[in-house]
Amino acid sequence: MNLATLSGLKRDSLHIGVFALVYAVLAFLVSNSYYQLIMTIVPVWAVMGVSWNLLSGYSGLISFGHAAFFGLGAYLVALCLVVWELNPWLTIVLATLAGGAAGLLVGLPTFRLRGHYFALAMLAYPLALLYVFEWLGYQEVALPMHREAPVLFMQFENGRWHILLGLALLVAALLTSSAVAHSRFGMALLAIKLDEDAAEAAGINTLKWKLAAITVSAAIAGAAGGFYAVVLLVVTPLAVFGMLVSAQALIFAMFGGVGTLWGPVLGAFVLVPLSELLYARYAADFPGIQGVVYGIAIIVVILFAPQGLLLKLQAWRKPGQVRLLGSTAATADFGAGDELLVVPPIPDENPHDNPVLAVTALSKAFGGLQATNDLSFSVRHGELLGIIGPNGAGKTTLFNLLNGFIPPDAGQIRFHGQPLGRQRPNRRCALGMARTFQVPRPFTHLSVLDNVVLGAYVHADSRQQAVRYASAAVQLVGLHDLHDYPAANLTTKELRLMELARALASRPTLILVDEILAGLDAVAMQDMLAVLRKVRALGITVLIIEHSMQAMVQLVDRFIVLDHGAMLAEGIPDVIVRDPAVIEAYLGKKWLQGTEKRAAAGAARTKGEPGHE
């Protein structure tokens, strides 16, 4: 069998199978009950590492609160056995469900926060639960022995059955983690990790995927906690809700390799036996030795191998081949032509009569600054509309209002006749409104094609379809030769083209283009204009912000001129460049003389080169 031909999930499954087989054989070779206990605990912590990694490693949102889910699982199993004599086979399943539910419940409010604030908030959940469980009187819950039915109550005579159960849990967690990583789910989480706003604008429902991630992750942690209670036979608040539980989950993943499938496993398999053996040897003299080992391990890793041991080893073995889990290394499919990008059917009965976009009395103020002031305009189907104005005229604010990054104070936006209300950017993208950013926001670790594939998922039913859309978009902007380059290596012009391709791959009916020409030299600018004309030729409506009047008069059908957030003028280029108000506010008096010269020069050039536009 050729490994290279297997898909990611199948290859991972094979590795997981081999790993499980080796570990199971080892389990049968070991008969010392202390070593058996360690061999049971190690996979449990590996599962916690995988659980943490699935949320924090994949999405970049650091959780210091996984102990909350672990502890709930442990107490659920312990208390169900004490109170109702429910067997752990059933209650570990319940613990999984309860963990998932708790994750969803925690995620709903907490995902309003990002970065530092998210990490801090997550810290509070397990600590609050710890004191609640102490107050409830569950300082120490011992699991009653059921010698009459050892299999039913998972209280086996021989510890190796516990090892196998722990291993089964780990296999399930790893398969889940691999399935997530190699799907649209994993791609979405990676996009969130790299740039959450850009992901949202590319049509990825970031809240939905984050909630899905915390639910799956917390379910795994709940199962691990439930099984931990069965193995240890006693549950205390500090042991299951304590800071060290969350810290261990994080440390194993970071130590082994954050965002990788095997990193958390490697971390747990190195650190747990090490700390357990040291503890057994030195606990009498040095009670906190486990914590010190974990602390030192994580400090050393952060300073010397911040990507984790696994990636360090890989980089050393095969330099240049390291890639993050979740990145797909999509194979381009340049077979199809631009017709793939032709606008999908518009949800409007009279697409050609109704405007694509109608803005009425839109206003937005930041403190005392009126960034958008009672602005009304509409964009016709297939039009290329330019928005110009001096710095601070409110151009980018207008785009942020249109695409839903910020809510307006007043006014309405209708898209294909439908009022947009408070729909989030990803919904607007799904409805057919795409955008690029003034400062390009690429997912720098990913290849050009993968960047574009992320934008293509909005209207794709499958990965293949997403890759086809993305390939067509990459080809249209002319980046097909660079499609497997990492985005970090692109020039400014190429980055902007890539962003345009990412917007196009979502098959929009309207594209908002933010200063795509700024800072380009004359040749690059002409290339860019040619690409924009191609986009428009597909029937896609374009709204473009720009400073350079010279370039814009060659391109647009109509201008809107903004000044201090309000409409200064509107009309076809010929009229706008002669409008006294526009000249006063924006172009300056010299423009008029310049235009005459340019017109003369342009006329001369057109004579010289027939066929020039």
Partner 1 sequence: MDGLQTLENILQSLVAGVLIGAMYGLMCVGLTIIFGVMRVINFAQGEFMMLGMYFAYFCFAWFGSWAFFDGVWFPFMLALLAGPALFVLGMALHRSLIHSVTGRQASGLEAQGHYAQLVLTLGIALVLQNGGLFLFGSSPVSVSNELSYSAWEWGPMVGDRVSVFVNQAQTIAAILAVVVVSAFGLLMARTRLGKSLRAAADNPDAATYMGINVDRAHRMAFGFGVGITAIGGGLLATNISFQPYIGTEYVIIMYAGVVLGGLGSIRGAFLGGLTIGILQQVSAIILPNQLQNTVIFVCFLLIILLRPQGFFGRRERIA
The site for partner 1 (CB under 8 A) is made up of 60, 62, 64, 109-110, 112-113, 115-117, 119-121, 123-125, 127-128, 131-132, 134-135, 243-244, 247, 250-251, 254, 258, 285-292, 294-299, 302-303, 306
CB of 140 to partner 1, least distance (A): 15
What 3-state class would DSSP assign to 178? Answer: helix
Return the number of the residue (254 or 513) whose C-beta is nearest partner 1.
254
Q: What is the DSSP letter of 345?
A: P
For residue 8, the minimal CB distance to partner 1 (Å) is 22
CA proximity to 64, closest of 297, 237, 262, 248 = 248
* CA dihedral sign, ordered 507, 508, 509, 512: negative
Measured from the CB of residue 101, what is the shortest distance to partner 1 in angstroms?
A: 18
Closest among 384, 386, 385, 359 to 374, alpha carbons compared? 359
- Rounded Cα gap, residues 504 and 507, in angstroms: 5
Q: Considering beta carbons, is residue 37 or 289 the nearer one to partner 1?
A: 289
Residue (450 or 514) nearer to partner 1, CB: 450
DSSP character string of 86-130: --HHHHHHHHHHHHHHHHHHHHHHHTT--HHHHHHHHHHHHHHHH
Residue closer to partner 1 by CB (options 89, 366) is 366
User: Which residue, chain included where needed, has tokens 């690429």?
Assistant: 442
Q: Judged by CB, which is closer to partner 1: 299, or 530?
A: 299
Rounded-to-integer distance, Cα 179 and Cα 590, Å: 62
| CB 141 to partner 1: min, Å | 16
With beta carbons less than 8 A apart as the criterion, state whether 166 and 227 touch.
Answer: yes
- Alpha-carbon span 155 to 135, nearest angstrom: 29
Nearer to partner 1, 45 or 469 (CB): 45
CB of 194 to partner 1, least distance (A): 9
Judged by CB, which is closer to partner 1: 64, or 437?
64
CB of residue 295 to partner 1, shortest distance in Å: 3
Minimum distance, C-beta of residue 71 to partner 1, in the bound complex (Å): 14
Min separation Cβ 196 and partner 1, Å:
11
170 CB-side CA count, 13 A: 31
Q: How many angstroms separate the CA atoms of 88 and 421, rounded?
A: 49
Specify the residue for token string 């889910």: 69
Least distance in Å: CB of 100 to partner 1?
20
Of 294, 310, 201, the closest CA to residue 259 belongs to 310
Sequence letter at residue 200: E
Complex with partner 1: residue 58 or 153, whichever CB lies closer: 58
Please classify residue 153 by burial: count the beta carbons closer than 10 Å to its beta carbon, then call 0-12 exposed, 13-18 middle and 19+ buried: buried
Instruction: Output the smallest distance, CB 92 to partner 1, in A.
Output: 27
Outline where 347-505 has alpha helix (H): 395-403, 425-431, 448-456, 463-477, 492-505
